[in-house]
Amino acid sequence: MRTPHFVLAAAALLLGACTLVPHYERPASGLGTAGTAWPTGPAYAANGQPHADAPLAADIGWRDFFLDPQLRAAIALALENNRDLRIAVLNVEAAQARFRIQRGALFPAIGANAADNVQHVSARARNGFGVGSSGGGGGRTFRTFSAGIGFTSYEIDFFGRIRSLDEAAFQRYLEQDENRRTAQITLVAEVANDYVAYLAQMELLQLAQETVANQQKAYDLTHQSFAAGVATALDLSQAQQALDTAQADVAHFTRNVAQAANLLVPLLGTPPPAALLRAKTLLADEHFLDVLPADLPSSLLAQRPDIRAAENELRAANANIGAARAAFFPSISLTGSFGTASSQLSGLFGNHSEQWTFAPSISIPIFAGGANKANLDLAHIGKNVAIAQYQKAIQSAFREVADALAARGTLNAELAAQQRLVAAAQTSYDLSLQRFRQGVDNYLNVLDAQRTLYQAQQSVINTRVASLQSRITLYTALGGGWQAQSVADDSTAGNAIQGSAGAGAVATK
């Protein structure tokens, strides 16, 4: 007699263990036959060949990559106060709460209740509205006390509908956590790039101020020569034009410095400290950034949190298909309670006062106007959209890294050529100025040499900024910027930034 019950229980257990979620397979990267191979050509010749054993940029902590103390302080300040990062943290907490809400549907909701029920029945109602009744008053009042504990509408997840929704909510929680990492990496890159841009504007301003001083001296010299009858009125006019141009540049770069400082305010979440904005020369690269390995690893896809977030969204969409499939099958719900009841409060917990209810129900879909089919189609479309977004994230990441590699492979040579040009222009200017003072050349040659030198000096600053920013982009495009300290060689991770940027441990299923 017990065998059928055991068989039914085992069958129910097996049914409860199944889901209708399709088997997940990671889609192709969408990069075509080239796969994830880095581009080759003259722009990439200085980068070396990627290989799997190269150190990961994601393992290099931002405190070790950014060597400038003021830049480190700015990044730490931004991680503590930036509002976008704070919103990302709150989004993770909200996704975690939604996951816990959805997970609660896997368990029955159990609650206790107590009631005092009073009912009055007239004599006529008791006798059937006139049948054997005199139509007079009277009647009886019934009072019942009850207390119990039970659960209501607990769905037995035979076909995995609730577990599919639980999996989708969990994957979206993981997605938000990856988005938080992306927000921090983006913030680190923006602070570093804007700080370098601010220092560049400061250096351009200093160059313009030095040029004004030199042009003022040249104008004074030309004015003296004009008064002595050596220089012409054209020479004096050209000297005046050069001085006015340099003064206009001072005003221009003064404005740029102020605006560059203002760009840092929303990133840092607070006005930049005075120590951060003090005048400073944009030094050589090694004073600002550590050197990334020339041989980059080929495991980019495992390091980018935005790619992992896109895959989490794809897994969530895949789980939604299982929930939509389960809607075509019957659902079984249970309602039950156990307690005690009595007409007297004193007898509520006495002998023979117990009561219980158990009400299983089954709902079988027959006709829903095509809604279930439409929901399944929508789930499949959602998965296809998620696949496209995943491939787009890979393509965008690949392009960012490829662009940064092309910049790294060419900007060093460009900077070296620009520095040689400055040296040659400086020699040309010195010789032209000497020849003018000796009366051999007119001032136009001095002006041309000075203009060439000034432009070459500006180009060196701009090229150095481009070089620094391309290295910052490469570092963050490869997933760097999430950890504060580098991962040790024994694969033990350093301390990641927490504080207001932390969001607690990821919940496990």
Q: What is the pLDDT of residues 34-80, one digit of tens each?
A: 556 677 778 877 666 555 566 677 888 999 999 888 899 999 999 99
pLDDT at 154 over 90: no
pLDDT (tens digit, 9 = 90+) per residue, 369-399? 889 999 999 999 999 999 999 999 988 888 8
Q: Domain boundaries in the chain?
A: 16-106+159-328+370-501, 109-156+330-364
Model pTM above 0.85: no
CATH of 16-106+159-328+370-501, one of 1.10.10.350, 3.40.50.2300, 3.30.360.10, 1.20.1600.10: 1.20.1600.10
pLDDT (tens digit, 9 = 90+) per residue, 236-278? 888 898 899 999 999 999 999 999 999 999 999 999 988 888 7
pLDDT at 156 over 90: no
Instruction: Give the DSSP per-residue string, 374-391.
Output: HHHHHHHHHHHHHHHHHH
For residue 278, the 8-state DSSP code is S
Nearest residue to 397 via CA among 313, 297, 304 = 304
Nearest residue to 479 via CA among 341, 303, 351 = 303
Phi–psi pair at 116, nearest 5 degrees: -125, 105
For residue 110, give the 3-state DSSP assignment.
strand
Report percent pLDDT > 70 for the chain. Answer: 80
pLDDT at 291 over 80: no
pLDDT of residue 39: 73
- Architecture field, domain 109-156+330-364: Single Sheet (2.20)
How many Cα atoms within 13 Å fall on the side-chain side of residue 328? Answer: 13
pLDDT band at 297 (very low <50, low <70, confident <90, very high): low
Q: Are 201 and 253 in contact (CB under 8 A)?
A: yes
Instruction: Give the largest Cα separation in the chain, rounded.
Output: 142
Highest mean pLDDT pick, 73-82, 297-306, 328-337: 73-82
Nearest residue to 180 via CA among 80, 309, 266 = 309
pLDDT of residue 504: 43
pLDDT-wise least confident of 29-33, 295-299, 301-305: 295-299
In angstroms, the CA 126 to CA 140 distance is 9
pLDDT of residue 343: 66
Which H or E run includes 265? Answer: helix 233-268
Residue 269: partners with Cβ closer than 8 Å, 6 or more residues away: 77, 78, 80, 81, 82, 83
Whole-number average pLDDT of the chain: 81
pLDDT at 12 over 60: no
Looking at per-residue pLDDT, the higher value among 133 and 381 belongs to 381
pLDDT-wise least confident of 218-227, 338-347, 483-492: 483-492
Looking at per-residue pLDDT, the higher value among 272 and 32 belongs to 272
Which H or E run includes 340? Answer: strand 331-342
pLDDT of residue 421: 95
